[in-house]
Amino acid sequence: MSALVEQLGAMHETTLVARLRLTVALSWNGNHHGALNLGLETLDLQRAKYGLRHWRTAGTLCAIGGAYNQLYMFRVGARYLRRALLVQEATLGHDHASTRTSASRLVNALLNTGDAVRALPMAERLVAGSERILGPLHDAAILDKITLGGALLMAGQANEALSLWTATDAILEGRPELTARRPMVLGLMATAFWSQNQYEKATNYFIRALNLSPTKKRNAWYFFLMASTRPSHADDLARARSYIESVDDPTPETWPESCLSCGRVIAGCVVMCTGCPGGISFFCTKCLARNVACLRKHCKHDPLMTKFSTMPPPRRFFLEKDLLDASYEHIETLWTDYDAYCTMHSVPLHERLPRTSVPLLNRCWHPMF
């Protein structure tokens, strides 16, 4: 790219193409900040040369929106992707690969901000287009169906989502080269059953998914969340614990989910509404403390039923559980382990279990205190 700028100039068509390709390459290799900076610079040059309604400019808008998505800035990414999609539909057509890429990224951004109303019709068009162009058994068509199921579930159509995912799982079962996608589909089906309070079916599907891929963090953590809300089913919680502790997780405080309000990855305690269907809406504690009204707008039920609860990450939850259930001989060792864990992972002080809340460590009963 440097050679092209030197020989042809920064505004030459070939140079601009090279800039866009470098932007995409940076994003593919995980350098999303670098891709975003280069994409924004390229957008300024293309806007001056082609204008905003040119298909080349739309390609850069799509790349910028994709970079914002990867950085969990979904609302900003959606604005760029909407512009790109409008231009590409007008210039390239609805079935062009670039147009479909922008639409797919926009659906992803909308679902991660809880906007299922706009995401659902777009996801349905993507599935219809991929089945018509590529065939219903193509990998891209299967991915579009999985996304459509997520949009249906978020829109409150759990039965339709289950029907779609069941058909998709049947396709994957007969395609050995695509079996890596089965744990994701089975985990999504388990979440749909959880949202309908069909806990036994949800447990069975979570176990099937985790037996196929024990390292799938999303399935293990969702299984833990569901089991932790049912204290009477200690066996499920113990099983979820065995899956979680069997995997070496470098980020045990980071949830495999983003906040529906701000779009950021949830770190620390996760916030859920007890009145909403399980497994669909998650928020971070920062949004809960800053503006509860932003969280309430995602609730579709009676506002009087809105009640938010928090849950620590699994490993911290089990450390705290062991502390509360420990015998006197092991209490100090367990407290040392818990304190070391919180220090290592920078757990905020207000989220830590107070020493005085552990019965065997609380000396308030003694007359000398």
Average pLDDT, the chain: 90
If asked whether residues 307 and 255 sit together in one domain, one would say yes
pLDDT at position 242 = 94
148-170 average pLDDT score: 95
Flag whether 149 is in a domain: no
Residues 6+ apart with CB under 8 A from 237: 224, 227, 228, 230
Res. 368: pLDDT tops 70: no
Flag whether 345 is in a domain: yes
Question: How do residues 209-243 score in pLDDT, each as one tens digit?
Answer: 999 998 899 999 999 999 998 866 789 999 999 99
pLDDT at position 361 = 59
pLDDT at position 365 = 47
Query: Residue 174 — very low, low, confident or very high, per pLDDT cuts 50/70/90?
Result: confident
Q: Which of 311, 328, 352 is the last residue of a domain?
A: 311
Structural domain of 339:
316-369
Give the C-alpha separation, 74 to 65, whole Å: 8
If asked whether residues 298 and 267 sit together in one domain, one would say yes
Flag whether 114 is in a domain: no
Domain count, the chain: 3
Question: How do residues 111-147 score in pLDDT, each as one tens digit?
Answer: 999 999 999 999 999 999 999 999 999 999 999 999 9
Residues 6+ apart with CB under 8 A from 140: 130, 134
Residue 308 or residue 303, greater confidence: 308
Flag whether 107 is in a domain: no
The β-bridge relationship of strands 308-311 and 270-273 is: antiparallel
C-alpha distances out from residue 166 to 39, 62, 137, 146, Å: 40, 32, 14, 10
Question: How do residues 338-356 score in pLDDT, each as one tens digit?
Answer: 899 999 999 998 888 887 6
Flag whether 339 is in a domain: yes
77 contacts 105 by C-beta, under 8 angstroms:
yes
Poorest-pLDDT segment among 97-111, 150-164, 280-294, 325-339: 325-339
| DSSP characters over 326-349 | --TTTHHHHHHHHHHHHHHTT--G
298-306 average pLDDT score: 80
152 contacts 164 by C-beta, under 8 angstroms:
yes
Bridge partners for 308 per DSSP: 273
Residue 308 or residue 369, greater confidence: 308
